[in-house]
Amino acid sequence: MVFHYAALILDVWLGLRRTARARFVRPDGLRGWWRSLPGDMLGRLVMRGCGIPAPTREHDAGDVTAMLVEDVRVARWFRAHLIPVQAQTLGRYVFSRGPIPDHMLAHECEHIRQWERFGPLYLPLYFGSSALATLRRRRPYWDNSFEVEARARADRESATREVPDKRAGLVANRDAANS
């Protein structure tokens, strides 16, 4: 049991060293480094705590990179939540029991942007927004300003992806009807 915790601490330390080295090499590295540290550390800790050795894959969303952890063992972490969870973001780590649909991934990438914007203040601000919604007799998840912003971003990205597909489909259908 002691060795398990020692290995976990060592793994987190090595992950932080890699993150720090990557951040310091980039020109803007020092400025943004403190912001990603708490979330990434939590994400790595949860991933290792679920028995998952590494992220499933990386997703480049342009301005952010998501470390996707798509594994059934994530259910261990989700069981600790008060509400049903499909996906969750901790720093750059996005957790899901299986493959994440594009719309949900866009939502979670917005949470990564929020983590980067607010750094170590993100979780207190997030829970504060839920508390404020509750005090206003609203829904703590659906009316949380961070969730509203993430849903809006995902809807905007889905709308821009669907427009070309619909037009291509109409052109293909029209061409098929003319044949």
* Kind plus residue range of the DSSP H or E element containing 59: strand 57-60
What local confidence, expressed as pLDDT, does residue 80 receive? 87
* Residue 34 pLDDT level (bands cut at 50, 70, 90): low
| Better-predicted residue by pLDDT, 2 or 149 | 149
- Residue closest to 35 by CA, chosen among 120, 92, 109: 120
Phi, psi values for residue 90, rounded to 5°: -130, 105
The 10 Å Cβ neighbour count of residue 134 is 13
The DSSP 8-state label assigned to residue 68 in this structure reads: E
What local confidence, expressed as pLDDT, does residue 175 receive? 46
- Residue closest to 76 by CA, chosen among 56, 95, 55, 89: 95
Structural contact between residues 58 and 134, judged by C-beta atoms closer than 8 angstroms: no
* Residue 83 pLDDT level (bands cut at 50, 70, 90): confident
What is the average pLDDT across 21-48?
68
What local confidence, expressed as pLDDT, does residue 60 receive? 93
Percentage of residues of the chain with pLDDT beyond 70: 70
Q: Give residue for tokens 């912003």.
A: 149
pTM higher than 0.85, yes or no?
no
The 10 Å Cβ neighbour count of residue 102 is 12
What local confidence, expressed as pLDDT, does residue 155 receive? 95
| Ranges of H-type helices in the chain | 2-25, 29-49, 75-78, 102-118, 122-135, 145-178
* Residue 174 pLDDT level (bands cut at 50, 70, 90): very low
The per-residue pLDDT for range 114-163, each reduced to its tens digit, is: 998 888 899 999 999 999 999 999 999 999 999 999 999 999 988 887 65
